[in-house]
């Protein structure tokens, strides 16, 4: 399943991927999803994902379990997560992790851009959301001026791009991306990342 937006702006990914992530999230909240780490003798580890629901579980939970197993092409209650692409034997699912640059590119592809800039080929068209998705990862607005009190704002090419201060989901996602960048930089330089956790006295 593809969840990457092409640079052409023509393909935002496949609906199955987003159905899968939403179902996994609901199963996690229902307490029927678990991850198990198994360390091997040679020092390497294996990661297993357990997907199961009791017979008496609500019908919506059982529906999600069936959907996840269908999308992952497995009938097993526990699957091993391995690195790689392509379909593997039943009981194993291959995944490809994304670099920090890939994450930023994905977010950038969803940024709203001015139609005028698209027409003069200065930027690519915004990649829209599909399937069960209802909004971009981070909603970034564009205009001639940003509203007062915007959470974050930059000016590029005479246009203002901003995150609304009333958009908690976007602010939270933006903070997560900042932390990921800090962790990625610290792993390269050997320095520890400094993570600030706001607290109310």
Separation between Cα atoms, residue 102 and residue 120, nearest integer Å: 26
Q: For 124, which DSSP code?
A: P
- DSSP letter at 86 equals S
Tens-place pLDDT, residues 90-125: 888 888 877 888 888 888 888 888 888 888 888 888
SS3 label, residue 3: coil
Tell me the per-residue pLDDT of 125-156, one tens digit each, with 9 for 90 and over. 887 776 666 788 899 998 889 999 999 999 98
Q: How far is CA 34 from CA 15, 75, 144, 163, 174, in A?
A: 24, 16, 47, 34, 27
This prediction's pTM: 0.63
């Amino acid at each position: 399943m593809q969840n990457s937006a092409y640079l052409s702006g023509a393909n935002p990914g496949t609906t199955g991927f987003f159905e899968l992530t939403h179902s996994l999230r609901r199963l996690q909240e229902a307490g029927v999803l678990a991850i198990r780490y198994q360390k091997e003798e040679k020092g390497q580890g294996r990661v297993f994902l357990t997907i199961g629901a009791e017979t008496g579980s609500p019908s919506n939970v059982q529906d999600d379990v069936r959907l996840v197993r269908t999308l992952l092409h497995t009938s097993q209650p526990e699957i091993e997560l391995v690195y790689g692409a392509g379909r593997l034997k039943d009981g194993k699912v291959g995944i490809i992790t994304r670099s920090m640059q890939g994450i930023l590119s994905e977010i950038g592809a969803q940024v709203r851009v001015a139609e005028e800039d698209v027409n003069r080929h200065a930027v690519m068209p915004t990649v829209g959301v599909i399937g069960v998705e209802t909004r971009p990862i981070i909603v970034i607005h564009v205009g001639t001026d940003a509203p007062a009190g915007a959470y974050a704002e930059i000016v590029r090419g005479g246009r203002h791009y901003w995150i609304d201060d009333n958009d908690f989901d976007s602010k939270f996602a933006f903070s997560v991306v900042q932390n990921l960048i800090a962790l990625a930089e610290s792993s390269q330089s050997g320095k520890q990342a400094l993570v600030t956790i706001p607290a109310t006295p």
